[in-house]
Amino acid sequence: MIPLLLYVMHFFVKTDDQLVLFSSFNGKGYLDNPKAIFEAMQSNPEHKNYQLVWGMKKLEHIKGAKVVKQRSLAYFYYLVKAKYWVFNAKMPEYYVKKDDQIYLQTWHGTPLKRLAHDMTDTGITYYRSQQSYQQMLASYDKDSQLWDYLVSPNSFSTEVFSSAFQVPKEKLIETGYPRNDVLSQADDKSKKDIREKYRMPQEKTVILYAPTWRDNDYGLTGYTFKLEVDFHKWQKQLGDGYLIVFKPHYLISNQFEIPSDLTEFVQTLPADSDINDAYLMSDMLITDYSSVFFDYANLKQPIYFYMYDMAAYQDELRGFYLDVPSDLPNDISQTEDDLLTKITTEKFDYERLAAFNQRFNQLQDGKASEKVIKEVFR
């Protein structure tokens, strides 16, 4: 029904050269690279006559934008009318683009895990739609064939994206990530302001714990995640001077309940909240296979890796592009005891982090949004 609707609308809705449609994670929220590009366009007088529209699953007020519900008739109208699409994730297979429309795909991370055509067929099904390996590849191909531009944060990602998505390198814009502009410009005041916004204590050491999902763990509503940590143990070993901020990946659908006696030690952030806020309020990061550490490294703060299931993840699910752990900004921990010991003894090599940033974040100068806009909207 939807493909037919879009096909018919193409004949009756004329493209507006000054209309831009934004969507982040298929309408999950006002987030990521599309948010950064939107805000840069808003502040640029050259685009004062542009109409900026956001597609959202849950409607919210965005200053300077018209917000429509994702998959509504109004959304499909703007999908057909907009000259520019600015998306950061693979979109539904029924999307059809007119010849005079421009699709800017920003993607959403420097990849540690193998993607699309770079993955091997392990026999599992992908995503809650129960896609097979071949169906998964076909869904990527259907979307990537519509891309006019693909943002790359570094030369490493340029090579990976070209291979994984089967995209000609001519379509890639190697600028750094727009969403990291705020991290490149962050200072002590940024951290203080964010903590005040979320009512976080200024005097505590805040640890951001941001794990990702596993391809073979999902239910009817999305990916699920089993929390393989003992926060009581963390509290005992770290002490009252620490605060844990737990933020699941945006694709994780199950809810987490923190024991009532730990609510002062562990605070959760919604999966669809802005990850940059979580970065800025924290003093260090703990993650597993999520690409968040590439972005977090811009803050030049400690990063720890808790990979309790590394053997299974590497051999049975995705596999890695990098040599783990030598290419990471820190060694990995496979037990909580090892992880907590590294934190309490402040075992972290800042020179190793600097070398990592030189390889992956050398383009992050706070002006990535401007560079993307200049290239796409010229």
Ranges of each domain in the chain: 2-180+366-376, 182-360
List CB contacts of 339: < 8 A, sequence separation 6 or more. 286, 304, 306, 333
On the question of a common fold for 2-180+366-376 and 182-360, the answer reads yes
Topology adopted by domain 2-180+366-376: Rossmann fold (3.40.50)
What value does the mean pLDDT of the chain take?
90
List CB contacts of 246: < 8 A, sequence separation 6 or more. 209, 210, 256, 258, 266, 267, 268, 269
Residue 157: predicted pLDDT: 98
Token representation of residue 261: 């006696």
Cα–Cα distances in angstroms (integers) from residue 263 to residues 183, 259, 266, in the given order: 28, 7, 5
Could you say which DSSP state residue 217 is in? Answer: -
Model confidence pLDDT, tens digit, residues 91-110: 998 899 999 999 999 999 99
Residue 151: predicted pLDDT: 98
Using alpha carbons only, give the angle 9, 15, 19 rounded to the nearest 5 degrees: 115
CATH tag, 182-360? 3.40.50.12580
Model confidence pLDDT, tens digit, residues 282-337: 999 999 988 999 999 999 999 999 998 887 776 665 678 999 999 999 999 999 99
Distance between CA atoms of residues 89 and 147, nearest Å: 11
List CB contacts of 146: < 8 A, sequence separation 6 or more. 95, 97, 103
Q: Which of 3-17, 61-75, 258-272 has the lowest mean pLDDT?
A: 258-272
